[in-house]
Structure 1
Amino acid sequence: MAGVWRCVLLVVVFMCVWGSTEAVGGAKSRPRPQRRPPKKPKVDPIELTPPAQNIDIQQMTGKWYLLNTASKCTYLMNHGTRVEPTVVMLTHSPDRTLSVSTKTRHSNQCWEILQVYYETPTPGKLKLKGARAELDTDIAVVETDYNSYAILYYQKRDQITMKLYGRSVDNLSEPMLAKFEQLAEKQGLGLAYLFPFPTYSHCGDVDKDHVINCVPTC
């Protein structure tokens, strides 16, 4: 297959049309001044919940299984009941980047998504660069024991996503799952925004035509 799977899973276009009304006789009426709604405070989990000190990115390398996601991402809200098994492979490079290979299914076919996370001066914090600086995704490894679990925060603009990864689909304890839910609740991501991922039937080898470079929205 030589086609290309679009990277953007869901695009919502907001069109604002501003116009003026005209009174009788062609005179334009002046619109009433309206009070602007108060701005919502910017939620910044990367700052409010800093990563553990001295996170060793080198120890983060290897295979991780995505077990749970907490997010208000529009795509997940609409399709969260149909998420597919997802496995991530991390490879650290001498140039202080982390190569990320994500394998999952789309339309009953296995795809591999390739990304690059850039290290920052702060231990445990990474950046996924977007098409423009304001579209960058800030990433924080907030907690991990390197051998069984890792909790990561992703922030793009004011949208937050939390992800729970495991080295295995079998050895994650119930207390750790409960802890992830509690951390998500603190960010306003209750049970309605939790999306468990299947722990079976993960993709293996992927045809080269199904390897793409892109930045998923969630």
Structure 2
Amino acid sequence: MWIVADAGYDVMRLAFLLRDLPVEILGRLRSDRVMRRPTPPRVYNPTGGRPPKHGGEFIFKDTRTWGAPDVETKSETTRYGTAHAQSWDRLHPELQQRAAWRDHTGKLPVIEGTVIRLQVDHLPSGGDPKPLWLWWSRPTAAPAETDLAWQASLRRFDIEHFFRMIKQTLGWTAPRLRDAEAAERWTWLIVAQCREVRGLEPVSRCRGA
């Protein structure tokens, strides 16, 4: 099972809390994030000192820190033109003992995942297509898996905008309904409105009536 989230969610925290379940977390990240590479192999140091816990920095806004991607794909889409995806394996955030991790006991975990950067030619709205950054709780990803991940994220946008439309434009949540049957009838009326707007078949056929 996948959980696909927007940038407002702490996807690394979700991945940690759900680590014992058959769940994968995929979420959008802000473009100012900094991740860390895997911990380098421990090398004997005659002068002593604590071994590093994190590898080098991966700074989203600094291409010099990226290095070669582990996966790179290009796909032609009908809505976005060419979709250019790059992914880097086993990147993790350097967690701090604050916010969601304030009450964490013991050492802070290293939560590795795949970072995906998606750049498209254009947006359906005509706006400026800024890069989309994603973090996936799967530590490594093959080319087909990388494409599946960014496609799932874009699909989340479609679903989210649909629910926003039926709430704000069609008034799905406006009535204060008292029972489940009334809520179901109202929901089917909203579905009928959607199909009427799009010029599709009557909603009665969808219900098998």
Question: Between Structure 1 and Structure 2, whose CA radius of gyration is higher?
Answer: 2
TM-score normalised according to structure 1 size: 0.23
Whose strand fraction is larger, Structure 1's or Structure 2's?
A: 1
TM-score normalised according to structure 2 size: 0.23
Whose helix fraction is larger, Structure 1's or Structure 2's?
A: 2
